[in-house]
Chains A and B, each alone.
Chain A
Amino acid sequence: MTASIFAPSPTAVGDERLWLTNPVYCIERLIDQWVGTDLDWATLPEKLSRLIDCLSLHEIRLPPEAMAKWAERGFLGSGHRLECATEFDYPRPGVVGLVVDSVVGDVWVVPLRAEKSSEWSADPTLPFSPPTVLQDLLVLLLTALKLPNAGAVPERFAFTIRDSLGRPCSGPSMNVAGVLAIIREANGNPPLLDGACAVVQADGDNLVQVASVRPKLEAFVREYGRGTLLVRHRQCAEAAAFDRSFDHCWVVSSVSDFAERLERQGFLRTFIKSIPLDLGDADVVGARLRRLKDSHHRYAEALDLSSRIQACGFRSNVPGELRREVRRSITDLYRHLGYHEKAEQLAREEVKRSLHLVASSYDAQALADVSLAAALFDSHRFEETVGILQPWYERLAAEPLIVLPMTRVMVFNTLGRARVTRGDTGWEEPFRRSLDILLQWEPTDLPRTLCYLAHGFIRHGLPKDAEEVLRQIEEHPDIHEVSRWFLRFYQAEQARRGGMQWISEDMENASPDRGRVGHPFGFYFQATARQAGRAADDAGRRFELASEFFLLEAPGTEYLNIQHFLADCMRLASAAWRNDRDLWDESRAAIAGRIKPAAGSGLVTYYSERFNALGSTPNREATEAFLTRVPFF
């Protein structure tokens, strides 16, 4: 006989976590070794029986199907009688992720445990990176339901997801399972989710099938025999072959399909209750708001969240600062999204508060004024912008310490941008003062101010200075993605003004996906469209793309929005470049509607001369002159 000097050992086939989570896999590896020699093979049934008894003592359950298979192969000793399996005989792992080991090709089940928490987190071996991808998916599901949930803030919930297997894994294929684990926990472990898995993953608003469906589901059936719920794609034949191994099968092809299935079970109701936020909730939603606004620049979602937070209200234990943060966010977000009229209205209320509240400060007053001035900038009321900020500029030159450094930066930059647009001499100076502060106070924020400075040089016809600043931005080690997008726009604009063509590959690959920030891409595509020698069709396509990007963040028309105006400008340009008479008439009429005299809008004064020069037929030169007037380009 050729037996090894060592008997095949449980440690040789798996560590403790693997035995706990994938016992059938481990046992089959041991059996593979046992059947290699007469000695191990002869006593295999007895050993297997002892092993199963031992696992049973540790409350590790094995599926009847695995036992039956081993019995059929003569591997199971007589100590284990096989009877008709009932639902109580099956393991109940909860919601399970399915992972493929890319090196050896083994497939394992990963029972997922969710716990309510004060912040989103996941064991580092799980593929939820960052863990808030699950929050995003949960919010997407709730949004897809289109329920009247104006006062509901599902973002208040946070969970920690635990990994039972402990093998590092990556990729988005487990996200749906992760959300199901959360839903299971939030709903008190309903029986439907006692043995659930999903072989779909989100792709925008759609759900698509994950990779390696068959081996993944084989692993599920191997470990559990059958499950309570399979979530699979409508057109996934591989998964459909496993339907009979599950009590229920949800066939889905979109996030809304999935959301409807969950809602029919009442699983999502717990997330859309409209009750005031307590301190813990407020911390969680505050973190999400900052992430959406400052990190992801998903302003529309951030505004939606802020509005729902305000409608939901706070319990008395929530600090005032968080409430103020939400209020200020709403004003800023309306402005970021281009709703200048609404932003101005809210900013004026803030100015009033900052002037009259006992608990005010110079800093609060300066910030409120900057917010108002910025809203007025978008309304093309540059005189008023300068009128509000110039006194602060002078006062801060004399007494810089009366407000915080970053407040000074905001005053200087907003004033500088208005001066650039007006063609004032000395427009550069406020930016230089900002840069001095940022160098000491917040070097990571330098690129934003450098972008404003570069734009000033470009608009004032100083290409060499612009070139130098653009180089500094490019070389900044920690340039944020929004600043990088603006950098690409300025580079394209610089090339355009120099009579050249230039494009950026990463910008070219961008597509107008819902939820992302759009205007930097709109600026970029209009600049590349207007570059010399661009074919009419290419230019037209770029203008149309720019128009789509401008409308991306602000599809609603309930308030005046500068991005709607910019989108119409792009349609006008497309008509001019393509010589499309109908589109020309249509877009001219739209622009006329937007720049008509109206309270609070400076557009009519600013554009009327160039607009009147457009004429009744498509005209590239006149359009070019009109676009050159736009202060953002």
Chain B
Amino acid sequence: MATSDRMDRLRHAVKEAAEALAQEPAIVNDRAKPATAGDLYVFTLAVDAALEWLVVREHPDDPDLLLVVPADDFPLAGTSDVALPHELVGRPLTARCGDAFWLPRRAYPSRLRVGALPQEALRLVRRKLDDLSHRQTLGSGEHVQPNIDPEYESWIGLVRQSRELLQRRADRMPIDLGQVIPFAQLASALPQALGSVRPYALAAESGSPLLATLSEALGADDARYHEILLNEGGKLILLADENGVRGVWSGPANSPPPRLVAFGQAGEPSEVTWHQGPEGHLHRAEPHLTWVDGQVIFEIGTDPSQTLTIQR
């Protein structure tokens, strides 16, 4: 299958780390508080690298900018990295200080915070950053000594790619998220426009564990719905599930579906295309919009246009 095993493993590792950290009340004392030095975040990035992001300090001239350093458990470390002592962080973790950069505070939603590092660990990172700063390398992405290990070079390449992606996203994402609807507040009942729930024929009679599981998987409706009645006519339905959000439009034959824009991994706005169903009653938006940092931001081309964010 095209879904790579490596990616699955990485995603799994990030999830496990986040869960483990979330269960440490001494470190994560208040998930709602704004980003603070020492906090660790995990962002959605389509890169084959499982990274956490350590908030190091506020910008001295602009408290809305926070310096962040990528950190990971890749076993090799270069001269601009800090391998944090196990006794301080309880796990392998190396801060890649050569790739530190400034990120606006709004790019750190609290729901993406997975933990925090003790002050002593944070001090080690700051010391390395000061050292690098003295050598005037901060922000250049250049590592002080040649790191000749090709595996290390390859890893640092992924780290840099992630940093650039995150930076671009922060620059391009809308500042105003508009109406924010948490996943839990979406409707669980199938909207009328999509028909009614139908049973799966013979599923219970198959006598086969595989077929029973397949039928169950198809029958499982973990989707949530948000309906928007449009003044121009028709109804926009947003279907959200664990993978993301899809737009479906139901409207009169002579009325086109609305313009719908969503923001992708790199924060780029992208207009969906609408495809008419075989019976002509429904239109389906392509592509399916995956969660980016646990949310999908839409701009709906109504008059006036409206911004809507659905968050997991």
Contacts and interface: CB of A to CB of B under 8 A. Distances in A.
A10 B288 contact: no
Interface string B97-123: 000000000000000000000000000
A50 B217 CA distance: 6
B2 A10 contact: no
Given A3-B195, A7-B200, A80 B2 contact: yes
A19 interface: yes
B243 A11 contact: no
A78 B289 CA distance: 7
Which of B3, B282, B286 is the most central at the interface, judged by chain A CB atoms within 10 Å of its CB? B3
Nearest to B195: A39
A64 interface: yes
Contacts of B175: none
B86 to A, nearest CB: 34
A54 B7 CA distance: 18
B148 to A, nearest CB: 27
Contacts of B208: 15-16
A45 B243 CA distance: 11
B158 to A, nearest CB: 15
Contacts of B146: none
B248 A50 contact: no
A360 to B, nearest CB: 62
B275 interface: yes
Interface string A33-59: 001111101110111011111111110
A7 B2 contact: no
B2 A81 contact: yes
Interface stretch (B57-65, B71-79, B127-135, B218-226): B218-226
Interface residues of B, number: 48
Contacts of A57: 213
Contact of B1 (A10, A19, A47, A62): A62
Contacts of B217: 50-51, 53-54
A89 B1 contact: yes
Contacts of B199: 5-7
A477 interface: no
A12 interface: yes
A3 B218 CA distance: 16
B246 A45 contact: yes
A489 to B, nearest CB: 58
A334 B16 CA distance: 77
Contacts of A6: 198-201
A74 interface: yes
Contact of A83 (B4, B202, B248): B4
A12 B46 CA distance: 37
A102 interface: no
Contacts of A61: 1
Contacts of A583: none
A83 B243 contact: no
B203 A9 contact: yes
Contacts of A15: 208, 211
The 9 closest A-B pairs by CB, nearest first: A38-B277, A6-B201, A16-B208, A54-B217, A79-B243, A10-B214, A38-B282, A82-B2, A78-B288
